[in-house]
Each structure stands twice: as structure tokens, then as C-alpha cells.
A and B are shown apart, each in its own frame.
Chain A
Amino acid sequence: MFNDVMLRLRSLFRRKAVDSEMDEELRFHFEKHVEKLVRSGVAPAEARRRARLEFGGIEQVKEEYREARGVNFIETLVQDIRYGLRILGRTPVITFVAILSLALGIGANTAIFSLIDTVMLRMLPVQKPDELVLLARTNRTSGGEPTPSFTNALWEQIRDLQDVFSGVFSWSDTKFDLSNGGAVRNANGLFISGDYFKTLGVQPAAGRLLSLADDQRGCPGVAVLSYGFWQDHFGAAESAVGGTISLDHHIFPIVGVSAPGFYGVDVGQKFDVAVPVCAAAIFDGKESRLDHRSWWWLSIVGRRKPGTSMERTKSRLGVLSPEVFGGAVPQDWEPKDQKQFITRSVVATPAAKGISYLRRRFGEPLHILMAVVGLVLLIACANIASLMLARAAARNKEIAVRKALGASRARLIRQLLTECIMLSSAGAALGILFARWGNALLVRYISTTRDQVSLDLSLDGRVLAFTAVIAVLTGTLFGVLPALRSTRVSLSSAMKGSQGEESDRRARFRPGKWIVASQVALSLVLLVTAGLFLRSFVKLITLDIGFDRNNVLLVSANLKTAKVPPDRYLATFEDLESRLHSLPGVVSAGRSVMTPISGFEWNNIVHVDSPDAPTGDDALVNFNFVSPGYFQTLRTPILAGRGFDGRDTKTAPRVVIINQTMVLKFFHGANPTGKYFKLGPPKPGEPAPAIQVVGVVKDSKYESLREIIPPTAFFPITQIPELDESATFELRSLTPPAGLIPAVQETAAAVNKEIPLEFHTLSKQVDDSLVQERLLATLSGFFGGLALLLAMIGLYGALSYAVTLRRTEFGIRMALGALPGSILSIVMKDVAIVLSAGLLAGATLSLLAVRLLQKLLFGLTARDPLTIATAIGILSTVALLAAYLPARRAMRVDPMVALRYE
């Protein structure tokens, strides 16, 4: 109703005018009534008195009148906010500290939540993401998780046989070198099947996207750019479409650009360039992965037909499986394995949120961090609650006066809560700023040279809602208790101006004690968590890894892309190695096929002629192929026998150097030099060439720092069974290794200008393998410290307040002859009780909680007594320190001053 709205708006915005009109109207009424009484013969003064009595409280009538205007709620809110601003402004330092600690707490929560939201909760920005399912295959061992990777043959079978999807596509991510030799410039590439964009419902921003026609065997290959890449590398020029791009030294025509906001289905990675699956043949040459039936490189996603349920999809895929696998059997497998192969099946899982390795890798750490920041926020809340309690006590008189004037308790509580929510909202606003800044930092932190993480961390509705909810929740959490307590004042004692009865005073501090004790408990949990992560991180980085990671430059080179003929590979590599070795600043140089802690492994079964030799999977040995300079460059000592040298040519007798673990496992720890082993499981009647052990090297980590060092065999790189087009040079320098890069590039260009080079340092490679551990250690350490600081501020504040409350008592005690020392012990006894209650609760809580961390720890158990003891020690020391200052003040109370004050 128009009338209604106008009146309400008028009341809201012309409050003063409306109020004075109301005043006038009521005054008129009152005076008319007095007039009437006077006319009936009552004396004027008596008439006024009677009228007033009859009317009841004028203010009450006004309040009811306002209520009827229907905007009272907003009005009181505005009033409360104004009043709150005044109150908060009166103690700017406390307000600032409160807002800052809330901002840190809320900001940390928002930051971690928005990561969780982006990585784990958000839907893909494509049409109807709910219909998408990710396919996987069951494995040889029935118990294992299904693996979401397929061979091209399997993909073609599924594509051609399925009848449950309205569209299905496959893809594989890869890196494309954009350069034409020299330092590699990598772009994130995708091999995609023809229906990729169509099935996802992604539109082109320019040109056209790939279609089925582009993805046919023997295709010439075309490329589609992502919107971001198009902007960054082509300045969003229209002319880019129709131009070309060089990928790994092959020229591809650009046919279009995909829509902005689409980054691919792998959350955490953004694709730059997409080419059809068939284009893999262009890069692979004759033996392409299109035909290789045990090359598991494709992921597959399908879109369920509308109305086809997940169950129906799953069961139909199960029915189709024998046919799918039957048509894609790897021809080179053993008959028994082939038979097993066709018993596997295709399974489906929902894929609405995309696929992400980040989820596997950081899912658990993110949840732990969410719990950690949640605890930090709780501690911050507790802090502000004790602050509010103290302030409420100071406002005792004000509240008593307002109550006496007729304010209801509910009204006062509302006022106090409004103040709290104002504080928490300010904290949340600032917290969002912190979160944006922190998020950028976090993403950079979890990115490694090899896996650049790029996430779309724009604040979406869900994140903002989350922040708003925790702001209100925290405000209520730290506000309710003080509001309830402080509005329960006894009017008479407050008005008398005294601080109330002794018992009343002690009772008033009781909730303060509880708050401090719980802060201590929560801080202990955080400190223990931080301690565990820090200690396991330190254990990892101080581990004896068997090589010296410092000052080693890794240079990867690929000769195939440089179009070097395969029979020249070995000579070219040898030439390069000797040239790099003689560079000034290079102490020693080596080359190998695998580098340590790269996350890759090459293994094979070996057998020794001995009755109790390991067999089957137990006989798996990790391999590497290295040049003579390798061990010296990595500083892995040779413990027995000899290293490789010029004798070990391609045609020389085959030799091997093995590590200590392999000596123990295969040769019972006896000196193995001169002994032999063979590759593969023993096959009667088919003698494999025997390989002679010529040396033993110290154990070193192979794939990751967390592994138990596997038995490892090093072969001369000259005797590698298949010609390998790529190798990595290790260059040890005296100076920071990155300084060598220009000289290395020049040297390589002198041999062949087209050789693509990738640079890395060994120390960075080792560091990159510890991203998860470092993230947990740094963040839990940071938040543990923050919690400690907050808890100490809380303790200090609460105790100062308690001391103020008991000033008179201390004064009297001193006047009666108590020594300062005994006053100190009274206070410290209180502290000790609170502290030990908190520590006890915290230790119990920690013991329960840390079990969840066990999987992420290294080299220590979750209930590590040293860590828990240290945390308790640190917390008690700092707590006692924080308590000492107010306690000392209690000791110095001047009895006269304290008594006079009362």
C-alpha cells in the first residue's frame, strides 16, 4: 500500500519532524485534559498531577506510538549503532586491538575457506556441471582405487561403444615449448578430443573451437588458445586467429580462442593451448601414443543424457566393460596378463567440480589448516569476550542508570550485542582484505617450478556468505556472556557507587577465569600442532639424503626436438657434457636420465642366482643411467669398487653400481663387487645378459624425501638399452648455480642452436617436493605464535582486571600487615590454578586431536612427548610472564589509596 510505505519512509527519514509532531500532539492531548479537570474545579497543580498519573509514562506512550509506526526496529538499530560508535571511539586502543585480532582471525578463516571453496567445492564454470562424470578403470588388484587414466585404444572403444552419454571427451595435459631452441618457454598444453568443448558447452571468444573433424587420425593439427593466453601473448589481437604458434618446434595454425573464465577441467591449472588428441602423432613420430596400448595418458569425462541416473550410467558402463577392454588389449603383454586385462571395468564418479590433483595433495592439509585458523578465531573471540567483560564492569553504573530509567534488559543486551557485532563486522571487512592478500601469497607458496598453481580466487557469494556468518557468529560468541552478566546488575549497589559485595565481585571474575583457561587449552593444542609440523619438517630437511643438494644446476636437454638424428644422440650429449665441464665456475659435471627427488621413477625386476633371492614385486629395483661424473658431482661417495669411466662404453661388458640397500637385500651385505645379476624375472631357456657389479655407493633418496630408500642400481649412461633423446646435466658450481645459465646457453648453442634447455637447481627441486610439509609447518607455526600472543594478551587483560577488582581487598590485607610477597602469592596461586586447568584440558585435547595428523608427520609419532612437553613449557613460561606484570601491580597497592578510593 502506497500510503503505508510513504508513512513509514517519512517516519524513517524525517524522524525529527515526525517525533516533534508526535510530541506536540501528545502535549495537546495532555493539556486539553488538564483544562477539563481545571474546569471541573480541580486546582491547576493538582490537575496536572492527576492527568500525569492517569496517562502513565509519557515516554512509554511515545515508545508504543513509535512501535506502531513500524520502523522502530531500524530506528533503534541506527540508535544503537550511533551509541556503539561513541562507546567504541572512547577506547580507541582497545577497539583497535580487538578489530585487528578479529581481522587476523576472520581473514585467516576466509583465506583458507576460499581455497577450500575454489579447490573442492566450486562447480566448473560450464553448462550443467551436475551431469558430468569422470571415468576410471579398476586395477589388477581388486582392492585398489580405480585409476582415472586410459590408453588411446580404450578411449576409442569407450567413445564408440557408449550409449549413456550425450557427449564424452578425453584429454591429457602436457607442456609445450614455445621457443625455437635455447631456454625452454613452457606453455600449459592440452590434448583434447574433438567433442571436448561441445560436451562442456564452452563457446568461442574468437574464431572457432575444435570439432570432431579436427580430431581424425593423421590430422595436420590445429590449436585453440585460452582467453587468458590470447590476451597475454597476443594482446587479444583478432589477427591471432588465422596465425600460427610453434609448439615443441612444430607449427600449428590457430583457429580460435575459448570463452573467458574457462580454464579447463583441472582445477588449479589453466590451459594455454589446446590441440586435438590426434596431434600427439605429430610430436611422437612413428611410435605414437595413439597406438601404444599401455600408455595411460588420457582422462575421460562424459555428460550423462538428461534423465539417465548415475546408477543407470554406472551399471551400463559395467555391462559394456568386457567389450571395451576386449578391443584394447595390449598385444605385447603376457597371455596371463592379457586375460586379466579384459576382466577390468570402467567406473564413473561425479565430476561437477572438476578434477584436481590439488584436492588429493592439499585436501587434508587444507582441512587441518581450517581447523587451526578456526581455533585461532576462537582464541581471538575469547580475548574480546574478556575485554568486553572488563569493560562491562566499568560501565556498571551506566547500565544501572539506563535500567533505572526504564530500559528493559532485552533492550540493553541488544545494545551490547550490537556493539560486538559492529566490532566483528569491522574485523570481517578488514579480514577480507587480509584474506585476499594472504590467498595470493598462499597460491604462490604452493606453486612449484613444475606445477604452477593458478586458481580463480575471486570472492564469490559463498565465500562472502561464509565471512558474514562467521562475523555475526563471533560477535555473538564473544558478546553474549558479557552482555548477560553485565545487565544483571543490582540497581542499589551500583547506584551506591561501591563496587558491590565481596562475593559479588569474585563471582564477577569467575567467567573471566573460564575464558582464560579455555584460551590456554586451545593455545596448547595449536602449539602442539605447530610443534609437530615444525619438527617433522626439520627432520625432513636435515635428513641425510645421500647427496649434496646445494650449488647444483640441473640442465635438461632434448635432442629429438632439435632434430638431431638418433645415432648422433650419444656423441652430442658427450660433447655437450665435456664442454659444460670446462666452463669457468663449474667444479664438476655429470649427466643422468633421472634426477633425484624429481617425483619420477624407473624400476624393473632383477634376479640374482641365489636360492633365497627376492622374487616378484619384492625384486623391484629403481634404475638410473649416469655418466662417470655423476657421483662426484652429487657428492655421493663410492664405498667399494670403482666408479664409471672411459672403459664403460656402449659395446663394453655391461656393468652396474648398486647402493647399500641393494647390497643388503640381494647380496646379504657381503661385498658384491664382481658378482652378477640379470634383468627381469628368470626365464628358463632364455638367458638374459648378466650384468656385473663393479661398485657400491652410499644410499641416497631417489623419488621423495619421505621414502624408505629403495634398492637402486646405476648403469653407465652409454649402456642405456633404448636410445634416449633427453638427459639432464648436473653442474656443480662454487657460486650460486643460476649464474651459470647464460654460459650454459651459449655453450649449448655452439653445439646446436635448436636444443631446448630447461633449467632447475637441485636444491629447488628438493624444496619443491616439500611444499605440503613447508606449508603446514610455516602456517601452523605462524598461527601457533599468533595464538600464543592472543592468549597472553587475554591473560594479561583478565588478570589486570581481576587485580583492579580486588584492590580494596589487597589494600586491607596490606594495612593489616600482609607482606607484598604474600599478596603476590595470592595472585599467582590464582594464575597457577587457571593455568594448570587450561594446560590439563589442552593436553587432553591435543592427545585426542593429533591422531588426525599422524599421516602428515615424518619421523615422529603424533603423541611425541618431547613436542608436547616443549609446548607446555613455552606456554607456561609466557603465561607466567604475562601474569607477573599485573601481579606486581597488586603487590604495590598503596593501602591508603585503595581504601580512600572506596
Chain B
Amino acid sequence: MPEPRVDLPQGTLDLLILRTLALEPQHGWAISERIHQISSKVLFVQQGSLYPALHRLERRGWIKSRWGTSENNRRAKFYELTKLGQKQLELEESTWRKLAAAVAQILETN
């Protein structure tokens, strides 16, 4: 099943995780699935980068984790956005939009 994959630019993974968690608390696997699906299977988050990123965000206090029960009644670690994380998300979103618009503008002027 060859799928077109795009490597995530540095720093965007954090933004995507925060965005995904803004909807509802999720466990790690669901986060990667959600990103995969919403991006029309373009973005794929390796667990090798996902979990270190989750831990990093947790240490910064943007997300917090607790153990809960998954859809099929298994113990899973759920991550949710904190207030601080909400602010960070807004900040990163606007930064990203500005950046993306600027890059698009440059690309289109030719």
C-alpha cells in the first residue's frame, strides 16, 4: 500500500498534536491515526517521533496525561490540552498561518 508521505517540517508536529488534542483528549495511537486521516493519508507520524514529542509537550505543561480506558476497554494513556496548551496552540496556529500565507505568496509571484 504505497502512500504518498511527506516528512513533517521541524516544529510542525507539536502544532499538529496540539490541534488534534484541541478537539478531545486522545491516546497516542488515535492522535497518529487522526493526523493520518485528516491529512488524507499524506502525513504519517512515526511512533518514534510521536512519543518523544508527547513527552516534550507534557514537560512544557501544554498537555497533561492520565490513564483511562480505551474504546475496547483497554488501559490507555490519554493526553489532553491544558489552558497553557490552548494559548500555545492559538499562538502557533497564527504563526503558522502567517508563514504559510507568506510562503504561498512567494511561490505564486512567479
Contacts and interface: CB of A to CB of B under 8 A. Distances in A.
A1 B75 CA distance: 29
Contacts of B77: 21, 24-25, 28
A849 to B, nearest CB: 56
Interface in A49-87: 55-56, 60-61, 64-65, 67-70
Interface in A113-142: none
B46 A56 contact: yes
A560 interface: no
B75 A65 contact: no
Interface string B68-95: 0010001111000000000000000000
A426 B56 CA distance: 38
Contact of B51 (A7, A8, A61, A70): A61
Given A28-B74, A65-B55, A3 B48 contact: no
Interface in A1-54: 1, 3-4, 7-8, 21-22, 24-26, 28-30, 32-33, 36
A468 B60 CA distance: 36
A26 B50 CA distance: 11
B97 interface: no
Interface in B47-68: 47-48, 51-53, 55-56, 58-61
Given A3-B61, A7-B58, A28-B76, A65 B51 contact: yes
A25 to B, nearest CB: 5
Contact of B52 (A3, A56, A64): A64
B27 A28 contact: yes
Contacts of A26: 47, 51
A25 B51 contact: yes
Nearest to A28: B76
Interface residues of A, number: 26
B74 A29 contact: no
A56 B55 contact: no
Contacts of A61: 47-48, 51
A33 to B, nearest CB: 7
Interface of B: 27-29, 32-33, 46-48, 51-53, 55-56, 58-61, 70, 74-77
Contacts of B55: 65, 68-69
Contacts of A32: 29
A375 to B, nearest CB: 50
Contact of B61 (A1, A8, A21, A68): A1
29 contacts: A3-B59, A3-B60, A3-B61, A7-B59, A21-B77, A24-B75, A25-B27, A25-B28, A25-B76, A25-B77, A26-B51, A28-B29, A28-B75, A28-B77, A29-B28, A29-B29, A55-B46, A55-B47, A55-B48, A56-B48, A60-B48, A61-B47, A64-B51, A65-B51, A67-B52, A68-B51, A68-B52, A68-B56, A69-B55
Contacts of B28: 25, 28-29
A4 B46 contact: no
A154 to B, nearest CB: 72
B47 A1 contact: no
Contacts of A70: 59
Nearest to A57: B48
Contact of A29 (B47, B60, B75): B47
A60 B29 CA distance: 18
B47 A4 contact: no
A30 B51 CA distance: 12
A1 B58 CA distance: 12
A64 B48 contact: yes
Chain A interface helix/strand/loop/mixed: helix
Contacts of A64: 48, 51-52
A4 B48 contact: no
A859 to B, nearest CB: 74
A12 to B, nearest CB: 13
A4 B60 contact: yes
Contacts of B75: 24, 28
Given A4-B59, A55-B46, 6 more contacts: A22-B51, A25-B76, A30-B47, A33-B29, A61-B51, A65-B51
Most B C-beta atoms less than 10 A away, residue of A3, A29, A36 = A29
Contacts of A22: 51
Nearest to B61: A3
Nearest to B58: A7
Contacts of A24: 75, 77
A3 B82 CA distance: 12
Contacts of A65: 51-52, 55
A65 B74 CA distance: 22
A233 to B, nearest CB: 64
A55 B47 CA distance: 7
Nearest to A1: B61
A65 B56 CA distance: 9
Nearest to A6: B59
A64 to B, nearest CB: 5
Contacts of A33: 29
B76 to A, nearest CB: 5
Nearest to A25: B77
The 5 nearest A-B residue pairs measured at CB: A68-B52, A32-B29, A3-B61, A68-B55, A29-B29
Contacts of A4: 59-61
Nearest to A21: B77
Nearest to B51: A65
Contacts of A60: 48
A491 to B, nearest CB: 25
Interface string A671-713: 0000000000000000000000000000000000000000000
Interface in A291-329: none
Contacts of A55: 46-48
A24 B61 CA distance: 22
Nearest to A8: B59
Nearest to B76: A28
A1 B29 contact: no
Nearest to A68: B52
Nearest to A4: B59
Nearest to A3: B61
A84 to B, nearest CB: 28
Contacts of A68: 51-53, 55-56
A592 B65 CA distance: 96
Contacts of A21: 77
Nearest to A32: B29
A297 B70 CA distance: 94
Nearest to B27: A28
Nearest to A37: B1
Nearest to B30: A32
Contacts of B61: 1, 3-4
Contacts of B53: 68
Contacts of B32: 29
A116 B33 CA distance: 69
Interface string A807-824: 000000000000000000
A55 B51 CA distance: 12
Most A C-beta atoms less than 10 A away, residue of B27, B28, B55, B70 = B55
A215 to B, nearest CB: 69
Nearest to B49: A64
Interface string A416-454: 000000000000000000000000000000000000000
Nearest to A55: B47
B109 to A, nearest CB: 40
Nearest to B77: A25
Contacts of B56: 68
Nearest to A62: B51
Contacts of B60: 1, 3-4
Contacts of B29: 28-29, 32-33
Nearest to A42: B1
Nearest to B74: A28
Contacts of A67: 52
Contacts of A69: 55
Contacts of B76: 25, 28
Contacts of B48: 55-56, 60-61, 64
A717 B92 CA distance: 105
Most A C-beta atoms less than 10 A away, residue of B29, B56, B70, B76 = B29
